[in-house]
Chains A and B, each alone.
Chain A
């Protein structure tokens, strides 16, 4: 069976096509598709953009209102997939198994995010897919102006809106 693909329709910018690695990251893939299919990501934003690092989204509305998410999932950071440029990984708090809906796209080879040991610092961030097309949109998002917004740093001044996420 071929890997699932998801389109992220970015307002005013185009479509980022993502392929998920259902074989190496079955839990994260199923979790992501669950949020896609229930429309969770529609009208959410990339709320954290750090050039040379990553762009993160999937948890906030354009008003910076945080969306409710479901139960946290097991961290699949030890699946062998690396946090290389244009890969998709689950965002989380510092607790290793705390990912829910938020994800990020690496915009550099972030070796320090890879799994090295089952410790707090070593668990790493679970990669579960990569950008197939639309890398130029990822590059464009990385370039936008950012600033502080309430409790959050690196928030785009003009919201980068995911109009809808569509599973193919």
Chain B
């Protein structure tokens, strides 16, 4: 069910769902076969009724037409399709893969989620977001985000030849990598006020998001003895010196846990 008058999407989970999984920030890319394999195995084996992918599944997405030219992306599409044949798979765009198209998702039988989306699961109201929109202190990123989310910018970008778009994406990535290496770079976190405002508006009890790569459960003090939580998902990198691939698994009872997919 989608409520169109609200500034957020509402998704009513079917009554028979017992478990839902949340993942994000896998940054899948051709060079990183280790992370892809962990994801592929997970998508094939998960016992959850639904898998919610909350952005940055892909390291970069320059347009749906790239799928026809890259076997790696075709493999990713096959994994999504195969998983979606037996369970509910939903995808929300992140800051890396915001250009994923409705056509691509439809062909993979994956639900297209708006950011944010309110998930009503059993008796729980869980707000889902990628999280980048809430990093308000990073004003230069917010300006960039505003620009690249404009339909005119996106149309102009997508009208460029695929090779040119891939070259632009490479340049942007190099800039971002060099920023990462600069010890002066400070990464903004999701803003508490932003979180509180969305939780109030949606009447959700918690926010689940990714983006910051800082997995933790933050308890928010909103006064009036309200207990609200911000659950931050882990990024995935199976080839890193400190490998990680984690699922936030939520049960209809309200119990939730972080499941590591890598052998300890």
How many residues on the A side are at the interface (Cβ–Cβ under 8 A)? Answer: 19
User: Which one of B98-106, B185-193, B234-242, B243-251 is at the interface?
Assistant: B98-106
Which chain B residue has the least Cβ–Cβ distance from A50? B107
Q: How far is the CA of A46 from the CA of B202 in the complex (A)?
A: 46
Q: How far is the CA of A116 from the CA of B106 in the complex (A)?
A: 16
Which chain B residue has the least Cβ–Cβ distance from A97? B155
Q: Which residues in B have their C-beta under 8 angstroms from that of A118?
A: 151
Which chain A residue has the least Cβ–Cβ distance from B67? A153
Q: How far is the CA of A32 from the CA of B186 in the complex (A)?
A: 54
Contact of A93 with B63 in the complex, beta carbons under 8 Å: yes
Contact of A95 with B158 in the complex, beta carbons under 8 Å: yes
Q: A94-B99, A118-B151, A121-B112 are contacts. A152–B159 as well, Cβ < 8 Å?
A: no
**Majority SS at the chain A contact face:** loop
B142 to nearest A CB, angstroms? 18
Q: How far is the CA of A121 from the CA of B120 in the complex (A)?
A: 24
B33 in the interface (beta carbon within 8 A):
no
Contact of A96 with B155 in the complex, beta carbons under 8 Å: yes
Q: How far is the CA of A121 from the CA of B112 in the complex (A)?
A: 10
Q: Which residues in B have their C-beta under 8 angstroms from that of A153?
A: 68
Q: How far is the CA of A133 from the CA of B103 in the complex (A)?
A: 28
| In the complex, the 9 A-B pairs of residues with the closest C-beta atoms, listed nearest first | A151-B68, A95-B158, A120-B154, A95-B155, A94-B101, A94-B158, A95-B159, A119-B151, A94-B63
B interface residues, Cβ below 8 angstroms from A: 4, 63-65, 68-69, 99, 101-103, 106-107, 112, 151, 154-155, 158-159
